[in-house]
Each structure stands twice: as structure tokens, then as C-alpha cells.
Structure 1
Amino acid sequence: MEVEFDSRPVRPGSLIWSEDNILALVTPACVNIVTPCLAGALDRSPIKFLLTSTPALTIADDSPPWKLIANVANIRNAVSPLAIDYLAGAWSPTGCSPLKGCILAIITSRHSVFLYIPTSSHADRQWQKYLVLDQYLSIYWGTQLEIKPEMADKLESVSLAWSPKIHFGGIGSVLALGNKAGHVTLWHVTSKENVRCIESWKTGSETWVIQLSWSPWVLERGRYVSMLAYATADGQVRVREAKFNPELPLEGIEVSENVMEAPNQTLHPCTVLRWSPTSYETANKRNILAFSDLLQRRLRTSLGTHMGSD
């Protein structure tokens, strides 16, 4: 199958595949969404596909609800494009949207977070903006209409990751956001009327949280546990545990202190964070975290092994 697009991606990790078998390509102008129409195993005819997209972003409709103080805003506008582009995206697990499909979470070049869903089916010509998390971030941080740069760093997201699906109680998934001020916030979204931050913490770094990655949920001592790995722009990689009781899902969620902290051997930031999948053979074992710094050409794991060379 070969698909041609009018725009091209500019960042690594722009091609993302959902559990609903939908492929999204994040480009500055739009998010191209491809749904393959898979034929039977014995059918040798070419694979067909449906091509849709998200709407183009505009200053009028997609700007953040807050404004920087005048002198800072003037400097930022002078050094950054006035247009708003798509920056990065992540698919939720299947079953999280009102149509029981996947939700597409997007970060824009203004560092807003938008959630997209199809209006009626995945074959729609365009997906619609379902939810804007900016207003909830603004409420959570207690901001005013006009803000200072240090508050803007808390409001502006630079990384995101959905947790694997929680298979009971209609919980769905938890969305982790990393901001410019070194904070991680965990959000649970079940509808437009039910959006809440269930936990947050300061990473110990004053730099951007640039990578986030969840491990599969496992049941340990009667509680569900997932490891959330995060990387900051100063080269640090850390891991915390998120735990909750199935009898009180997400009401009493606990996030541990760092359970793993990679030695800061370089100021080059981590570019990839990946957890090993869970299989039948490894169901009772902890998952392994792999992370790399492409500038050093090094791949490291949470077991301490080093592969590649400087």
C-alpha cells in the first residue's frame, strides 16, 4: 500500500498507529489519518484505504486562552511563527472515545493539548476537536487571563502519553502530560463533563519533560501498578510507579518517588523511551525499559546493559 500526502512530517515519531488499525501522520499543516480496508487473506487485490484528516489550525480558533504579559508576548511573536502547527500526537487505547474507538491527543506549536474524535465513523472526511485541555490546565494551575513566563511554562505541554487500557470499571486510560517547567500531570477524561487531574509532581528538573512512556498495568498485592518513565531535556531519565486499588479506581491513586534514575552521563537528552511488551511467559515479571540518546548512538535498558558505542 502506498499513500501520498500533501505535507510532510518534521519531527521523529510523527507516524503513529492506533489499536483500531488507524494510521496517523502528524505534519505541521494537518494530521493525515489513514484507515486501511483490509481484504481477506486469500484476496490478492491491492489493499485499499480511506484517507481523512484533522482541520487546519487557525489563530482565531486554536490559540491558548491565556496571554503573556505584553513585553514577553512581543519578544515571542518576533522569534516564532504566527501560524499554529501540529507538533506531536498520541493515540489512546481503543474503547476510550464516545464511539468506543481511540482518541487522538495532539500538542500544537503553541503547546496546547487537543483531543480529536471522528464525528460518526473513522471514515469521516475530517475528525473533530472533541476537547481542549488548555482550560482545565488553566483552572488547575489557578492562572489569570494575563500570565508571566514562569506560569506559561507550567501551562504549555511538550510531551504526552496515554497509559495502557485499564480493563474494568469503565476507566479507560490515563493521559500523562509533561510541561516546560519540569512537571508531569495525569489526566482522566471520560466525557466533556468529566475531566480531572488525578495526580501531578515536579520531576526534580527545571527543564522540559520531553518524553513519556507507560509500562503495561500489572496486578501486584491487590493493586494495579504501571511504571511511568519520563525524560527531561537535561539528559535525565527517571521512573515512577502509579498504583491504585481496584475497589477505589483512580480515587486513591498513588505515585511513588523515583524507583529508577538513570545516571546522568551526558547532557544530551533522551530521544526514545520504550517499555517491553507483556507476553504469556513474562506476565509475572517486571517490564524492561529501553531508552536511547541518538547523538551518542547508545541504547540502555533498566537492567543496566549498554549496547552500541559512543
Structure 2
Amino acid sequence: MTQGRSIRLFLVDGAPNGLLTAEIMNWTGHVLTGPRSKLSELVQRPECGRTGIYFLVGTDPDGDLRPLVYIGESDDVATRLKQHNRPEEKGGKDFWEKVCLVTRKDQNLTKAHVKFLESLLIQNAGAMGRCKLSNGTAHEYIGLPESDRADMAFFMEQIRTVLPVLGLDFLRGIGRPSSNQQPEPFTPTQPETYPLAGAENPRLKMEVKKHNIVAFAQELDGEFVVLEGSLARGEWIDLKHNYRHLYKQLCDEGVLVDDGNGFKTFVRDYGFTSPSPAAAVVAGRAANGRFDWKIEATGQSYADWQDQQVSAAAAQSEEMEPT
């Protein structure tokens, strides 16, 4: 069983949409995040005068449904953020709406450390495919001693743990069902997966029998993951539904590719926010995923299975209550 972790959040100005700091118990890292509208306050914080990694996050002006992200490093993050805040024609970046800064409480991060960390993070973000990167190709920095590289790999894993808590999901891996395999550490050449399986995460099946389409999925790590090898309709047919943009994006990104028989195939596992967009992409039209996805072993709808799980948990809770 995975152990829990404690993350301490602090609302600097008392507002949920203002400046926020985050720390993990027994980790020397320190995270500061806030909206661009709070930049004048953020750059006055002592963290911004340290060496660190920062993320600029915003909406892609070209219409990509994923967030647009820039990953950078600096010895003086405040100065760099002021440069990024300039109008684009003066060398700034216009797209970003939120900034996240990661430094170290003991101030032992050096320029070499953050360059190496920046390279790892750019590679990881690209491999996960959850965002569109504003960076170019990551430079490979190999000048660090072996022990320092190990420290930075651990440091990156803590960043990947805390950022999703702050609503920044672009570094998070996608779970892969496996009952025996243990999770492997991230390497730049292969995205990390988190194995989850068992009765709590049954495999699901969806069929569009008229078109001989079969797809499989599993709810993993808080996402609804359609599994590699699943089929989808060869084209989107419901022109009025907004999920057509998601279908097109998955085709453009190479997640869905032609299989040569008139269908699309998922060439890798892909995590959706809920069952319905996953079902819509498979069917090529609007769909109610809670009923279209079935438990593979029993044929029970996902909606009925969820209701059964909730009822069973409630009954168990009542039995445990003292009389």
C-alpha cells in the first residue's frame, strides 16, 4: 500500500487565488505559486532572489486544449520573471497566466543543479504529453557528479508530487495496470507509469457493435485511462459536439492513428478527465461514458458498479459504528 504524505500549504495573503507556498515534510524544497496579477508582490518575496526552477503556465493562443508551459531556471528568478512580463515584442511572453517557482530552503541549489533539473523537467513534460511546451529542445547537462544527479532526480520527483496538488498536472504520469510490477524511476526516454490494479480498479470495456469497435479502459490514479491498442471510430461524426476538438487533437498529436482498416488506434495509454470524453472519442460522437463503459468481467455498467461500491462502503461504515 502506498504511504500517505504531508504537504503544508500556506495562503500568503489569506486568499485562495493569491500567493501560495507549499512544502513536503522532510523535503528541502520550497514552492511558491501565484497568478500573474500578483507578480508585483511575488517578485518581492525572498524566494525570488534565489537560484531556482520556474514554470510559466497559460492558455495556448493557438487553441491547443492542453496548457502552454515554459520551464526555466535562473540565479535570480525575480529578474527573469520581470523580463518575461514584458510585452512579447520586447522579449517577454504573453501567454502565461500563472507562475510557479521551486527553490530550496537550505539555499544549496547551484546554477549547475538547476540547469540539470531544467533539462530533466523539460524532457519529462514532453514525455508525459499533458502540456504544450513553449521551450525548444532540452539541453543535456551531464557535468554534475553522480551523487548530485541522484539528488536532482529525487528533487524532481518531489516537484512531480507537489505540483498536481496545486492544480498543475503537466508532470504527472499515467497509471498502467499491473498486479506485480513495481514503479520504476523516471528516465528521460520513457514516461513513468504508476501500476494500479485489483478489485478497486476493474478493467472496463466499451463496444460499438455496429462498427466492430472495441476499447478497454481502467480508472487509474484519479484518471480514466483508455488503454493502448483500443480502437476508436475512424472519423468524428457529431459536428455540433465540443469533444470533436479533443478527438482532432488526439489525432494531431499521434495518440490516435489510422490502423489501415478504417479505424483509429490508441498507440499509447491516454488519461481522460472522466468516462464520457473517453467514450466520445472511441465512438466518434457524444456518448454517456458512465453507461457505455462496462465492467469487462461482468458486463455491469460503470455507473451501476460505482453505485454498488458506494453502497457497500456505506454499509460497511454503518457496521463499524459503535452501538
Please say whether Structure 1 and Structure 2 have the same fold, judged by a TM-score greater than 0.5: no
**Shorter-chain TM-score range:** under 0.3
Q: Which has the higher helix share?
A: 2
Q: Which has the larger radius of gyration?
A: 2
More relative contact order, 1 or 2 (CA 8 Å, 6+ apart): 2
TM-score scaled by structure 2? 0.26
TM-score scaled by structure 1? 0.27
Q: Which has the higher strand share?
A: 1
